[in-house]
Amino acid sequence: MLREVWPFVDAHRRAGRSVALARLVTRDGPGARPLGSTMAVAADGTWRGSVSGGCVEAVVVDAARAVLAGAEPHLLPVTPGESLLPWEATPACTATLEVLVVPAPPSAVHRAISVGLRRDRPLAVGVGLRPPYRWTVAPTVDRLHADHPAYVEELPRRRRLVLVGATDLAATLATLAESVDLAVSVVDPRPGHVGAGAVPTTAGLVRAWPDEWLARHPLGPGDAVVALSHDPRIDDRAVRAALAGGAGHVAALGSRATHAQRLRRLAGTPGLDRLAGPAGLDLGGRSLAEAALSILAEVVAVANGRDGGRLRDSRLPVGGTPAFTAGLSG
């Protein structure tokens, strides 16, 4: 996906180095990565991303470096295992992939994508599947004037994670959440906590009562609220407001005894059966980082419609539907 590799693309563009993008646009069978998966390869030989999870990346990097050296952009058909020796085992993934290998978008499109991602605005990005492989960008798909046929990717705004309480756990959780591309806001009415300096600069830090802030910033079904302050005067107000709003996941930190007390205090609150408490999946962790991982894992599982069980015990596909829509146009 473009969002995954864009920091790499942007950094090299700013340094004056050319970049090629290799994008998985079709596949005739199952695979390890969804359509839209992208690799970015720079002129200095470094690269980020993947299109198959590891099976064909060496071939794709070679093709991208050839384009950077002057070869024509093209659709590259590639099959995992096609270069194996006769006695080597065939990999489980055998679908033929079609990978579009083109230079990264020109300056105007690059700038529009960078601004959209930085400001967290929805975008539709298209690239033609035939010469001249023209890039286009627009706020929505219906306003995108892409060449036909084209590969089109919708980049919605990021899912939001609201952490109530500027605690050390919130700071650790905010840092972890950045790696899964959540837009994190930390809300706390206490000046000493807000000014402690622990929360990473990538998260929005707000001094406010959580119920008042949530009323001004309505959430959607892909968003989550986790109450972490361990102060009922703060957490209870956050839980009531979040359950009354549109957030898809509402959770609160605490032991089972603490949560039982919380449920008694909040008895009669509409939607109380939606409250996840104690927050997190049962990872058995004890450290701060393990607690943050547990809470974040539950946030991700709920957003993807999963219960967070072990993959070995599930018959559902490994991986889910990507948070964007992408496909061929024309």
Q: What is the CATH number of the domain that holds 211?
A: 3.40.50.720
Residue 97 bridge partners (DSSP): 27, 78
Total domain count for the chain? 2
Query: Does residue 18 lie within any of the structural domains?
Result: yes
Tokens at residue 77, please?
């058909």
**What is the C-alpha to C-alpha distance for residues 41 and 47, in angstroms, rounded to an integer?**
4
In order along its 330 residues, the chain shows pLDDT tens digits of: 899 999 999 999 999 999 999 999 988 766 678 889 999 999 888 999 998 877 788 899 999 999 999 999 999 998 765 554 444 445 555 678 899 999 999 999 999 999 999 999 999 999 999 999 999 999 999 999 888 899 999 999 999 999 999 999 999 999 999 989 899 999 999 999 999 988 999 999 999 999 999 999 999 999 999 999 999 999 999 999 999 999 999 999 999 999 999 999 999 999 999 999 999 999 998 899 999 999 999 999 999 999 998 888 887 777 654 444 556 666
Q: Are residues 290 and 167 in the same domain?
A: yes
**pLDDT of the residue at 85:** 43
Q: What is the pLDDT of residue 254?
A: 92
The sign one gets for the Cα dihedral 94, 98, 103, 107 is: negative
End of a domain among 157, 190, 221?
Answer: 157
Query: Are residues 11 and 93 located together in one domain of the fold?
Result: yes
Q: What's residue 138's pLDDT?
A: 95
Residues with Cβ < 8 Å from 147, sequence gap 6 or more? Answer: 126, 128, 129, 130, 134, 136, 330
Domain that holds residue 235: 160-309
Does 19 share its domain with 129?
yes
Note whether residue 258 is domain-resident. Answer: yes
171 and 296 assigned to the same domain: yes
* Whether residue 150 sits in one domain with residue 256: no
Residue 265 belongs to a domain: yes
Closest of 155, 202, 179, 156 to residue 2, by C-alpha? 155
Q: Which residue has the tokens 């032991």?
A: 255
Q: For the packed helices 168-178 and 288-303, what is the interaxial angle rounded to 10 degrees?
A: 50
One domain, residues 84 and 197: no
Closest by CA position to 50, among listed 70, 67, 64, 30: 64
List all residues 6 or more positions away from 309 whose beta carbon is below 8 Å from its beta carbon: none
Residues 164 and 248 in one domain: yes
Asked if residue 225 belongs to a domain, the reply is: yes
Residues 273 and 172 in one domain: yes
Of 145, 137, 303, 310, the closest CA to residue 221 belongs to 303
